[in-house]
Amino acid sequence: MLAPQVEHLIDAALEEDLGRGDPTSEIVFAARDQLQGKLVAKQPLRVCGLAVCARVFARVDPATRFTAAVTDGDEARPGTVLAHVAGGARAVLGAERTALNFLQRLSGVATLTSAYVAAARAGRARIVDTRKTTPGWRALEKYAVRVGGGANHRADLSGGILIKDNHVAACGSVTAAVQRALAGAVHTLKVEVEVTSLAELDEAIAAGADIVLLDNMDDATIRAAVERAGGKVILEASGGVSLERVGALSRIGVDLISVGKLTHSAPAADISLEVERGT
């Protein structure tokens, strides 16, 4: 079973692509015509989104048969068959683009995340995502991050207290913002605050923050922040974290590295539907 918001997303995607019909397939194929095909990886990738892909085919025609050959989280090489699909030619080809869009996008997020996670193993940090997600796709994209071995930051604004630069500016200082948050938060909520300098880090620690986000700092400044914090708070590094940089950043000793590009800039994985036989 998929979450209701995912079902709605599938319906919206199919309405967008198939809402007014597919005259190509309707003219070329008779209603009785069948075909068999396979979904094939064209690049090294981390598989993600098979259930959503299967659901797209089923929404177009419940009689379509989708058989996964791998599972979400598996590594695939070029030429790996990910799944087999069989059914009415009109239905299969009508669902093809939408099904691939989901599978390619989610596998792309999982693949990029897995690369970051592998690079971060040089140190102690965990790779986490952000709320910089495709509108409407957040649940799926955050699932893909987990499939790639990463962890999720807040799912939405209700997921925790994170005081960002605009909160600080409106409150007047890091201290004022943290103190207001601590005074109003229930005991189960940790208070995280974003800082841009070592002076603000000191201020955040003194004010009682539980987590400090080091925003867009270079490695030397982050190293100094780790030494200055001395384990008194959880440290999260964020901003400008390239794949080439993440290993060195993890070795510095931060606890978390948040990477927006896991979801906002992951390239779609190269996957295609290859027809094997028609009848």
pLDDT in tens, the chain (279 residues): 789 999 999 999 999 999 999 999 999 999 999 999 999 999 999 999 999 999 999 999 999 999 999 999 999 999 999 999 999 999 999 999 999 999 999 999 999 999 999 999 999 999 999 999 999 999 999 999 999 999 999 999 999 999 999 999 999 999 999 999 999 999 889 999 999 999 999 999 999 999 999 999 999 999 999 999 999 999 999 999 999 999 999 999 999 999 999 999 999 999 999 998 777
Residues assigned a catalytic role: 97, 132, 164, 194, 215
- Per-residue confidence (pLDDT) for residue 138, from 0 to 100: 97
Question: Read out DSSP for 142-178?
Answer: HHHHHHTT-B---SSGGG-EEE-HHHHHHHSSHHHHH
Residue 143 has which token pair? Answer: 């699932």
Amino acid at 139: A
The per-residue pLDDT for 153 is 96
Classify 107 as helix, strand or coil: helix
Report how far residue 252's alpha carbon sits from residue 125's, in angstroms, rounded to the nearest whole number. Answer: 9
pLDDT of 252 reads 97
Per residue in 123-168, pLDDT (tens digit) is 999 999 999 999 999 999 999 999 999 999 999 999 999 999 999 9
CB neighbour burial string for 13-45, b if at least 16 within 10 angstroms, e if fewer: bbeebbeeebeebeeebeeeebbbbbbbbeeeb
- What is the distance between the alpha carbons of residues 174 and 180, in angstroms, rounded to a whole number? 10
Please state whether 177 falls in left (phi above 0), alpha (psi between -120 and 50) or beta: alpha
Question: Please, what is the angle between helix 138-147 and helix 4-18, to 10°?
Answer: 110
Identify the pLDDT of residue 277: 78
In terms of C-beta density within 10 A (0-12 exposed, 13-18 middle, 19 or more buried), how is residue 187 classed? exposed
Structure letter (DSSP) for residue 125: P
